[in-house]
Structure 1
Amino acid sequence: MFVSSLCLLLSAFQVTLGVDFTYYVQEGQNPGTYVGDIAADTHLLDRISPQDRKLIRFSQIKHAIPTAAQLFRVSRSTGKLYTAQTLDAEAICIRSEECYKMVDVAVRKGESFITILEIKVMVKDVNDHQPLFPDKQVFIQFSEDDRKGAKRSIPNAVDQDAGVGNSQITYELKKNKEEPFTLSVAKNLDGTSKLSITLEDMLDREVKDSYVIQVVAKDRGTPPRQSVLDVHISVTDVNDNPPIFSQNVYNVSIKYEHDKALPITILSATDSDLNQNRKISFHFSSQTSSIARTLFELNVETGEIFLRKKIAFGQKLTYKLYVQATDRGSPPLSSTAMVIVNVINQQNTPPSIDVSFVSESTGNTASISEDIEVGSFIAYVKVTDNDVGQNGEVSCYLQHQKFQLQTLGTKKYKVIIKNPLDREVQDHHDITISCQDKGMPPLHSESKFSIKVLDVNDVRPQFTERTLKFSIYENQRSKFPVGYINATDPDLGLSGQLSYSLLDDKKHFLPFQISNDGLISTLVSLDHEFQSVYNFKVLVRDNGSPSFNNTVNVIVEVRDRNDNAPHFIFPSINPFTLEVIYYAHHTKNITVLKATDKDSRENSFLKYEMTSGNEKKMFFLNRYSGLLTFARELTQQDAGTYYFCLIVKDNGIPVLSATTNLTIVLTVSNKTYEMLNGGNGQGDEKVHMFLMIAIVLVSMTVSVPITAAMAICFVRCRNSRNANTNSCKKHISEQKHLMCTSHLDTSWAEVPGDRTTEFDTTIRSGSHQIKSRRGIYPGDQLDKSRKSTASGGSRTLKDKEVVYQVSAFLF
């Protein structure tokens, strides 16, 4: 369906001659002004199926070496025509002539050529110039004996607008009613007006010898614009006869090889005035084009016209010269004649080849992509040969493995892709188009240009590894470099330029950034204790079209620095007082110091030291576990209060530490020593033990009611007394927390490999002794013991203490 429609469309354009469509646009519009829809107005898409219309592309034919700035641009996909710059009709066209510009538009389906449309854009002139006189005032003279109807010429106004209406000028005379003057207007051959002031009555110099009147020049634009000429009239004798040409139109024919030393023609004009008023000079008028002025030269005195330089073959064949003959009167009078010069071509000249590229080009080099399809249209070739007969008949050819020349009609061709291109095999091609006419002898011309094959983005960026690992110490400054992400892409240009970005899940803050060259750096200072490892992905993307990308896994390890000093968990307050009762041959362990450090690894490895208070060498502190024990057996003389300064240090660099003060109130019990060791040399240990158990059971059975009543009374009395001893509660609470966390017997190994030991401690509160059997727990076991004691409540603990005290009394 599309092929048949395309054939009909091509045949229709091949038989169509001249302009395909004409648009109108007003000068002075801003760049980007909409001109017209070429696709819709030329009905180009009427016979193309809807699914194929989206493949249609429009492009303006660009000359290899442009002679002027581009005035229009064509939308590639829609075919709509817009202005590319502000249009100025006066700069584009010659005044009073039809003002237009031709736009050649190439139409393709994908990379396949369809046709070339020749669009004619008419530029409508805007009335942006007012008529201007050469001077703001002019001086003329009338003789006092001049009769009615005498005339004096004055200069006409010129309007620079290009439009016919905007450049047409009407004149009006402003004067007083008693002034005997009128304005006469006559048309010259070049379209300008010939102005003169006509005398309506006889003048009397003795009554009035000068007058001032105004001539108003107004154009026919919308709105009209005008200017004023002040005419100063003095009464005297004046030059009143303009020069007269022998003929108004001169028609001259010359050959291309005309001798520059011989005049083309000689103009003749006469003036019936006398003396200076009859001397004539010749000049080109303002209506003569600048091109004609460069080709022809006019002798001011004789009126001879010469060829200034040789006319090049292929240039315009007809030129119009407007010559003005002016006398030397005051004011001067003038008349205008037109000279038509026809250039006759009698020689055989070689053809001229003009190559315009559809794609982007620089000079004589066009750039195309390596993935361009076979048959794609890349250049438009137009051949010019203005010779007559067989001298102007031309045939062209192109010999190349990758490119082919196809005819589009008389002296028009297109260059298409013949075979697939491969940039990796060859990225540059030199093309020569040869054209030859059929003259005798035949003349030959060549046009050479180059094709640069552009790379296509067909390779994805690659990483050397799937996962990249970096490490950085904590506490570095922000924007500290972490490491480089290195990816490679063998494509060229933008396709090989890579940009990097971090892929963030938006749920967690990622304290990193990555530069365009792949350098990962920190956004903020990192903290190992907050997060030690970061896992994220980096996306690399090339700048090709379409763009390809890839990702790599990145692991950043935040290495620890010793930036956190240890602190004591027990004792939790500083200073701290601990009351200890020593039982000979039974008590060894005292308590366990516990500290923590937020750092990791060697920075969190802690060592304990006792810096003062152990002058008697009574105590020993395990530097690794924090276990505080008695270093020897004690006597009554060792009892007393001991003040210790304890320090805990980490193993980092530099070493960080913390200190605390511990006071131990030591009591050495002799009674407990005798009770535990009194039967070592007398009687049978088993008999004593069974006897003791029996006594305890009987005593407990008899004394339970008495014990309960006494306990209640004792608790009430103690509660009343404790109200007056609030200052001691905190100290007692700390001791209960450390020493009396449970009434159950508990065993704990002092050090690995030692046997489990038990010891008794007595906590003194006022005049009461509360005895319990408990163990000392290292580390988290001590914490758990404290927690279980705290959950028991203060009243339960006091009730149990009373029970223990009464039981001891019964024993």
Structure 2
Amino acid sequence: FLGLRALLLVSVSLQCAGEMTQLRYSIPEELAPGAFVGDVAKDLGLDAARVLSRQLQIMAGSAEKYFEAKVPNGVLVVKERLDREQLCGPSLHCLLYLELLLANPTASHRVEVELLDVNDNDPVFLTSLTHLEIAESAMPGARFPLESAEDLDVGMNSVSTYQLSPRGQFSLSVKSHKGGSKPELVLEKALDREQQQRYPLVLTALDGGVPAKSGTAKILVSVIDANDNPPVFNQSVYKVSLLENAPVGALVTHLQATDNDEGANGKVSYSFSSHTPQKIRKMFSLNEETGEIRVLGSVDYEDDTLYEIDVRAKDQGSPSMDAHCNILVEVVDVNDNEPIIRFTSLTTTIPEDAPPGTTAGLLRVSDADSGGNGEVQLHLPADIPFQIVPSFKNHYSLITSGPLDREEISQYKVMITATDSGSPPLSSQRNFLVNISDLNDNPPHFSQPAYETLVTENNALGLPIISISAFDPDLGQNSHLSYSLVEHIINGMPISSYVYVMENGTIYSGCSFDYEQTQQLVFQIQAKDNGSPPLCANVTVSIFIIDQNDNAPLVVYPVTKKGVLAQQPVPFSAQGGYLVTKVTAVDADSGQNAWVSYKLQQATDPSLFQVSAFTGEIRTVRALLEQDAPSQELVVEILDNGKPPLSATATLILNLEHEHELGTADLRESSMEQEGLSHLTLQLIIALITISGLSALAFVGAPARDVFKQSSPKLQLNSDGTLKYMEVTLRPTDSQSQCYRASYSPGSDRSDFTFMRPVDYPQPSTLTRDFDTFLSHTDTLNRPRQVRWHFVLFLLSHMKLVSPVTL
């Protein structure tokens, strides 16, 4: 026994496919906890440091509780008492399987531990005293089966031989069979009941251990008077097949024995032999009258594949005679066990940039059935980037087979299906979760391709203007966004002097906007994530400035020169409706804020003159009379259409003169024509000559987009809300058609206008006189560019490119 305990056999089998290694150790049973099993580290070629860094451990399984892997020395030792008889029963070979796991990189190693039997059990007879009745008529050589001894040990340590004492009348014959050896009592000499009725015998069973162990049973043989015909079975051995999971009560076989005697001596009853194990008695029932053997318990191929039953047939004679037969019940495997899948993973997540072939976990499958019923195949859904590759028998690795993208799928529910080869096949499924970790591989995305908003000019500083938002499909810090301005220059100033953006994406005003200086701001906002390295994206933001009525109308004609009011001669011969002059004003604002209207605020004689609210034309109401005051002062108020409206006034002195006095006024005007033209006047004249040469008509209108598509400057002529805008296009002089468009407010009840042609261009002297007069009182070059456009339109009106409108 001590020699067996010292026996240790080590077998190492290296499988070069992948990282899989199979180790085999042989140890005797009943070793104390802590006993040495094998040096795993040495057999795998690992030193202590690598054992520690690679986290050597035993995977959970049926044999895990009996062994322990010591770290860092890598030694496999016994953890609990190992009783071979308890673990493996009567099996000749007792193998325990372990699976060792190593990380960094992931690898698994299968370990087989064979438990060697120790002769620690005595042979035992279930019946200590056996009564055997033998008819005195029994012939020498007759054989009588005896109960076999049971020894929980196996191999050489199991029952090997039997001895009978005393010998003489009887001898012992031992037959070997699948379940072991069976003793038989052999009659050596004829019996004579009158000489001796009973024979006490002792049967000894010996095992093959060193030293050998033994067990004894007593046999009392009683000699019975003649019943000279024993029962006879129609077969000495019955071989039947029985499907596992056969229901209780299913017929196994029907035994039949006959006895040629008559009466009670010929009536046969059936029973299990005295040495039939309890396991058989619990599994099968035997009808003592009919000889039918039926299923009594649960038949399972995985428990036993063959049952050997000994049956005795006995007549009712006195003494009774009996016969024995042997029934071999072969259990046929039925595919009644589903495959079992076990999954082990050493990592919780896989990075989304993991290359194909990365191990996600280890699989182990088992099927308790045999043959094709126990052959298992694994399957995965076709729409996931994983595949299963075999490691060694019933062990597999789950690896990636394609690229991963966490933003599309952050967690895979891997459903593994195991199917055996039975008919019909059985299958089982297990779901395993494989998490994908994030990498910063996605730039931010804005919720809109571009952002636009409106802001009224003269806004307060720090006004929230618009909020932009972007999202990043990455995770954690990789999706945390910050916003910033992309610097560039607008009107000579950096964009950061106009607006600024906060961390939440809200854009605030950095100054008070002035529509007359800036009509829109177009810039870019950059969103950047917090990944490493960070990724960013830009979006365009357009802020359109809305005009406020913050500019009063500006009188451009007539103008005062050095404080002297404009004077206009009027002939006494003028009749009612005579056009005396025209007041023209412009407004630097836009839209409704730039629409101006005229009204006579004050006059020397209110009944003599009237002002057109829309054109600013001053006309006589009636014919002039000699008694009218020779000097008439008119104050014309110009109002824009803003809310509230802003206004300006123009004061005119109208001198009523006779025809002969008008010449003097013309001379004065002629002298003014001799003044030198300024540089700006020359530029405007050159522009007008170019326009004339191209025969193009300047266009005038209220909406900024109908006048200048790329800038806001515009001129609203004499509108009080009825006339919205008018556009006129002049074709070449040889054209017989002219193009025009007029638009009115919904409240207008007139929709006609007069277009007067041909177009008469004014003389340069007239333009020079009127424009120089305006320049002498207005710092035009320092005005906003809208006002300078108004000058151009003002000159165009003098060129009669725009016809008077009648309502």
- Shared fold per TM-score greater than 0.5: no
Q: TM-score band (shorter)?
A: 0.3 to 0.5
What is the TM-score of this pair, normalised by structure 2? 0.40
